[in-house]
Chain A
Amino acid sequence: MMEAVSRCNNTRRMVWTALLSSVAAVLMYIDMAIPIFPNFLKMDLSDLPALIAAFAWGPAAGVLVELVKNLLHAFTTSTAGIGEAANFLIGSALVVPAGMIYRQFRIKKGALAGLVAGILIMGLTAALANYFLLLPFYSRLIPLEKIIDLSSRILPAVHDKFTLVLYAIVPFNLLKGTLVSLMTLWLYKRISSLFCR
């Protein structure tokens, strides 16, 4: 009898991870600005293949998809790799908890719990990463007061670095995580029968 699902070995899993990274890199280019938020925060679906990899083969595969996607993106970068480093950190914070919890409880509730945990940890990581690493780094290109100034025209509550993180960066990442997670919940069961196990 022919197997509906192919056997997984290292080579097969590696090829799969590579192709999902390639999908992620393509999706990273199809980004869109969200109203309300300042336009340096952009929405894209590139975390979706990483979440699917994490659900199918565990958190490490998800992190690899994030890593390869960002390395590829860094080849044609416009921010000398800083934006990519940020994306990698924040994306991994979403993917790792989701993959770890779903690995233990392979039912819909497990997926849901994993995604919720992932979104929360992603929001926290985004806040810490932005506050301590990214905003100080970006402020060497565009002074922080100007980022705050521009953001406060769209979001009046923003008036310093802390409120910028609290009212712009955290909600943005929570929203992004939620949208990507909903897409994953919708998509995963429909395509998971294709993957090697």
Chain B
Amino acid sequence: MKFLNHLTFGQYIPAESPVHTLDPRAKILSVLVLLTGIFLVRHPLAFIPWGLLLAGLTALSRLPFSMVLRSAKPVLILVIFTSLIHIFFTDGRPLIDLRIVVVTREGVTMAVYMGLRLLFLVLFASFLTLTTKPMELSDGLERLFSPLVPLGFPAHELAMMMTIALRFIPTLLDETDRILKAQLARGASFDRGGIWKRLKAFLPVLIPLFVIVFARAEDLATAMESRNYRGGEGRTRMNPLRWTGADTAALGGILLFVALLFLADRRFLS
């Protein structure tokens, strides 16, 4: 049995599709535009085109629709909780009177609106990680941050650190799991007592973990140095990012979609 195996960092699903082959920079920027757009929606009905967009993008990316929906599972409880609060605690015209609480028209509208907003935020955010490899994401971030390099921002180092950290998370999870079991076998308990007692119980886990991290860091640094790694300057890539017409079209299309929806929302619905 493993304690920590339910954690997944990055949820990339490989497929051959126009969405997968887009430049990661175009995808990151598009998702930022989309998330802003979702925050600007004012009327629950305006989420219909958003649903259509998500369905369209999912079809285009050749991902199974259920897979995309499943990525919202971690926030489902939050969505339901938020909606319930809105249903029961909004004043307005009563719809159903349950004696203790009154369900109002406004409450139901708000619940649907807030629930959908939260759901779409998460769905679009995870659509990015579903269709983009973590490595591509960190490459894309490096290039997006590169204008800040003259100001002293370590864009290359940051991307490299993200790549290394991402690579080591599964290893560290395995190691942490091993240490947890070893300490449990020696009679440690991690879920009893007050908060301070629980935190102190973690010390015998953390010290061996840092010793392992030490060994890994030394090995990796030596391996990189012996291959003559000297930072980002003058470094070449096996697969350099290329911004093509398709990327401009995708980003432009998304911008247009969000702008049109925003105007329609303000003009007809609110």
Contacts and interface: CB of A to CB of B under 8 A. Distances in A.
B118 A141 contact: yes
B218 interface: yes
A32 B198 contact: yes
Contact of A22 (B85, B164, B229): B164
A183 B122 contact: no
A142 B90 CA distance: 12
A170 interface: no
A6 interface: yes
Given A179-B195, A191-B210, A140 B39 contact: yes
A45 B199 CA distance: 8
A14 B160 contact: yes
Interface string B109-120: 000001001100
Given A18-B160, A179-B195, A187-B203, A26 B176 contact: yes
B15 interface: no
A18 B171 CA distance: 13
Interface residues of B, number: 63
Contact of A190 (B74, B129, B207): B207
Interface string B196-230: 10110011001101110110111011001100011
Contacts of B224: 11, 15
Given A26-B172, A67-B158, A142 B82 contact: yes
Contacts of A179: 195-196, 199
A142 B114 contact: yes
Contacts of B209: 23
B210 A146 contact: no
B8 A76 contact: yes
A77 B4 CA distance: 18
B1 interface: no
Contacts of B172: 22-23, 26
Interface in B83-122: 85-86, 89, 114, 117-118, 121-122
A146 B122 CA distance: 22
A21 interface: yes
B244 to A, nearest CB: 25
Given A15-B224, A76-B11, A22 B169 contact: yes
Contact of B169 (A6, A12, A72, A186): A72
A19 B158 contact: no
Number of contact residues on A: which range applies?
35 or more
A73 to B, nearest CB: 9
Nearest to A149: B89
B162 A19 contact: no
B169 A26 contact: yes
Given A68-B161, A191-B210, A6 B117 contact: no
A45 B181 CA distance: 19
Contacts of B141: 71
Interface string B237-253: 00000000000000000
B168 interface: yes
B74 to A, nearest CB: 5
A187 B206 contact: yes
B161 A14 contact: yes
The 6 nearest A-B residue pairs measured at CB: A18-B164, A22-B165, A18-B161, A194-B214, A12-B221, A22-B168
12 contacts: A15-B221, A15-B224, A16-B217, A22-B166, A72-B166, A75-B10, A76-B129, A80-B121, A81-B125, A146-B86, A179-B199, A191-B211
